[in-house]
Amino acid sequence: MKSLKIVYVIIVVIIIFLSGYFLGNIKNSKVSREIRIGYNHSDYPDRIDYQNVFTDGDSQEIIDNFLMIYLQKEKIENLYLEQDPDIYIRVTSPKRSVELIDSKVWFTKEGAIIGERIAEGWEQTEYYRIDEDDADYIKKTVQYKED
């Protein structure tokens, strides 16, 4: 009789543990970081088409590498670019419904220039430089084709 109670207690503990485990997996399966790569639409210049989307659920390594590139960028003073960017990069948190980074990227021979929006509109933009290796990683990851 005593051994039967022990078996029941063990079964109840296992059921509680497994239900908590599965509930935790279901609840935390939502994407917490998302990177969208966009290009100017060929017919509508003010429209941006986001063709590539990377999430931390599918591509954690890509998310981490992009964030490291953004952490290591060098600030550039007094730069203003007239031409359209090569790509647009947006980093968002769908889980919290927040946009973390909204930027434009111009590829150069030395690497790339990143224009990061720091206010509501693009009137307030800070510019940064990244090296050639980081720019090549971005090009390769987003399968960028030069014109």
**pLDDT tens digit sequence for 70-103:** 999 999 987 777 788 999 999 999 888 899 999 9
Between residues 90 and 3, which one has the greater pLDDT? 90
Domain-located, residue 147: no
Taking a C-beta distance cutoff of 8 angstroms, is the pair 144, 107 a contact?
A: yes
The total of structural domains in the chain comes to 2
pLDDT band at 28 (very low <50, low <70, confident <90, very high): low
Task: Give the whole-angstrom CA distance, residue 124 versus residue 122.
Answer: 5
Q: Which residues contact 44 (CB under 8 A, 6 or more apart)?
A: none
Strands 111-117, 98-107: pairing kind: antiparallel
Q: Quick check: pTM over 0.95? A: no
Domain-located, residue 112: yes
Range of the domain at 5: 1-29
Tell me the β-bridge partners of 99.
92
* One domain, residues 19 and 62: no
Output the domain CATH number for residue 118: 3.30.1490
